[in-house]
Amino acid sequence: MITSISPPIMVNLAMTKGRTKEKFECLFINKRTNERINKEFSIAQIDKYLGEYIKDRAIKRGHTTTTVVKRGDNWKVTITYSPSVSPSVNGK
């Protein structure tokens, strides 16, 4: 009788899932009203909203800036890339 023994492949798959949660922290500044909005985006979201070039540049440099025109207003966007590593990866 075998009780709750996972094959090594399943254990390795489970250990790699959730190791890194790459995210982009964006600060939107309205150039007309100086309103500031902070938002977090995943890789798929940043690719969809700001484009592949901006995403790749933020990953390469760690941060980048761009301007977005939305609803007639210009927004300066500062994008900071942070590959967050979960504590289990470091063995803590």
Structural element, H or E, at residue 59: helix 52-61
Taking the CB of residue 58, how many other CB atoms lie within 10 A of it? 22
Could you list the pLDDT tens digit for every one of the 92 residues in the chain? 444 444 444 443 344 444 457 899 999 999 999 999 999 999 999 999 999 999 999 999 999 999 999 889 999 999 999 886 555 555 55
- Residue 62: which of 85, 79, 81 has the closest Cα? 81
- The torsion angle over the Cα atoms of residues 62, 81, 17 and 19, rounded to 10 degrees, is 60
Strands, E assignment, the chain: 20-30, 36-41, 63-70, 73-85
* pTM, entire model: 0.67
- Rounded CA-CA distance 87/20 in Å is 10
